[in-house]
Chain A
């Protein structure tokens, strides 16, 4: 588990999502990365049931249940600014039992699927974010395996990102800012994905121009 940076690649002008993804993957292959299969990250949203809100009238909190094919035997559950739980895959079954407390939000399943490339110590995943049948955006994840402290390798990551993303290189993710010298974990990756999905969900349609 190394330091990971998840970012969104805006769709190129005049092109569809698929074409942009193809552009990216071709760039990576020219760079020398080797294809290593596919990946998938998905997210379901639940909100706390109204019955448990009580008389305080606070808004129901949203809970995201995510899976990542990189950790095939795990399931992640996180609140927006709250803790992230890493559990067994039996957690999905548990959510069914907790139907009374957590209700699934309608049409909330969002996922990203794509190919996985290995370039020496870097693991690059380029995926299409889809919500239902429609493709909404492109996600790019880069992991630098050897390092686990974010602050030590951010500059290296940035340089690598620049080499194939060009001008669309993102800034440092928010999770890095919180704990500079703490060990990076899979939960931080999922938090990044959650933020990405929320951002994409808010965008109503596939942006034609590169709106960040």
Chain B
């Protein structure tokens, strides 16, 4: 057959895209080839699960026929391999294991369905429950819902009721004890000014100077009480204070120390009858509560008592040439022979009795306010001494006292040295010295003035210094001669020297 010409055979790949439609002008619209996942879906649909595994080979062969649709030459190579290996392994098609698993699952489900349907009839099979706690009876789902809703609503209602109860309680409390709050805030204000402490159910305070260094044995305790005599129905008065203080009975009223100097001694019968006063109470700062004035007045009374106690103790103990007389509330001493100094504690309580006696006419007092003030200062200095840095800090094992006194034991001080350490002068001596100085100063001024008025030539002028000590004052006395200024103006410096020499 050599004479036959070779026939040209054209082989066209079959991977040509299918034509979807042909347009009117001849253009062809191609179908997009299926993507991998689309292909997969198409193939999975063609699986027939009802076929047994025996027909899998036929299926495999049938399926391989579709294999050319697969893109890729590698797939065709696999197909060739699969055809060759078909005899040895039932299937190497990738989807086969999936199909097998699904098939076995279907089998299981069918079996279960069958068993359940048989069990439901209860003719051939019954279910025997495993012995367990009795389960709650099956309820109608609707009633169950209702009951559960009810329960949850009840829980919410409980919480809300509790809250409401608390609110109503606090509101009623506020309304009833509106002043309860004020008591506490008033107590806080009181605490800012005074020392308070709680003993049992009482609140006590301290108005003594003990913490400031005083050694007076008075306790100085006051009690804070709640003012409950209030009628809620009536209108609350303007100056109502929910807090009241109760001061010790012997500190009631007000007191001051009256120091006066008299030229001639009064009658003996008049001693001890210095009753004085109604000195008007010191004006309290506006806005300060009434307990503040009360407590301050009581503290002042205590301080005056301490001053007087100290003075009277010294008056009795200290030996002096002319002994001091202490009668009731008055100490009388004689700094100079014809002069009498009287220091008295004037304490008036707030009852009606003293108010009556206040209407008596008071003799013009030569009350020396300066000395009274100085007495207060001196006692405060004495207080400070007990707390001074000489006393404290000191070793915890040492006894309290002046630093040098602590050394007096180990250094064997004898009596003279110990006495020199202790302050020699008491309050009374200091006050007497001050009174003496005041008297002498006024006497000196009076003398200079009388001389100046009496003597015409030369002229005497006295300039008293404003700044004085309690024991010393200074005065500059200028003695000039009139007329010499004229001379010194005309004449030379020599005269001025003469003029200056007269000073």
Contact = CB atoms under 8 A, between A and B. Distances in A.
Chain A partners chain B: yes
Interface of A: 1, 70-76, 86-90, 185-187
B412 A72 contact: no
A185 B399 CA distance: 25
Interface stretch (B192-200, B403-411, B433-441): B403-411
B409 A88 contact: yes
B403 to A, nearest CB: 14
Contacts of A74: 408-413
B413 A71 contact: yes
B418 interface: yes
Interface string B389-427: 000000000010000011011111111001000000000
Contacts of A186: 412
Given A72-B415, A73-B408, 10 more contacts: A1-B414, A71-B413, A71-B414, A72-B418, A73-B413, A74-B409, A86-B410, A87-B410, A185-B412, A187-B412
A76 B411 CA distance: 11
Contact of A75 (B399, B409, B413, B415): B409
B405 to A, nearest CB: 8
Contacts of B412: 1, 71, 74, 76, 86, 185-187
A98 to B, nearest CB: 16
A186 B409 CA distance: 12
A48 to B, nearest CB: 23
A190 to B, nearest CB: 9
A72 B406 CA distance: 13
Contacts of A71: 412-414
**Interface range on chain B (Cβ under 8 Å from partner):** 10 to 19
A87 B409 contact: yes
A74 B408 CA distance: 7
A185 B414 CA distance: 12
A9 B236 CA distance: 91
A86 B413 CA distance: 11
A182 B194 CA distance: 59
Nearest to A186: B412
Interface-centre pick from B410, B412, B413 (highest chain A CB count, 10 A): B412
Contacts of A73: 405, 408-409, 413, 418
The 10 closest A-B pairs by CB, nearest first: A88-B409, A186-B412, A71-B412, A73-B409, A74-B412, A74-B409, A73-B408, A86-B412, A70-B414, A86-B410
A87 B407 CA distance: 9
A87 B408 CA distance: 9
28 contacts: A70-B414, A71-B412, A71-B413, A71-B414, A72-B415, A73-B405, A73-B409, A73-B413, A73-B418, A74-B408, A74-B409, A74-B410, A74-B411, A74-B412, A74-B413, A75-B409, A76-B412, A86-B409, A86-B410, A87-B409, A87-B410, A88-B399, A88-B409, A89-B409, A90-B399, A90-B409, A185-B412, A187-B412
Contacts of B413: 71, 73-74
Contact of A70 (B399, B405, B408, B415): B415
A90 B415 CA distance: 19
Contacts of B418: 72-73
A53 B323 CA distance: 63
A184 to B, nearest CB: 12
Interface string B2-30: 00000000000000000000000000000
Contacts of A88: 399, 406, 409-410
A134 B414 CA distance: 30
A1 B413 CA distance: 8
A142 to B, nearest CB: 15
Contacts of A75: 409
Nearest to A185: B412
Interface-centre pick from A74, A86, A87, A186 (highest chain B CB count, 10 A): A74
A71 B411 CA distance: 9
A70 B415 CA distance: 7
Contacts of A86: 409-412
Nearest to A143: B414
Contacts of B406: 88
A208 B15 CA distance: 162
Contacts of A187: 412
Contacts of B410: 74, 86-88
Nearest to A76: B412
A186 B408 CA distance: 13
Interface-centre pick from A70, A71, A73 (highest chain B CB count, 10 A): A73
A71 B408 CA distance: 9
A160 B250 CA distance: 62
B399 to A, nearest CB: 7
Contacts of B415: 70, 72
B414 to A, nearest CB: 5
A73 B408 CA distance: 7
A72 B410 CA distance: 11
Contacts of B405: 73
A127 to B, nearest CB: 17
B401 to A, nearest CB: 10
B363 to A, nearest CB: 48
A186 B410 CA distance: 11
A72 B421 CA distance: 14
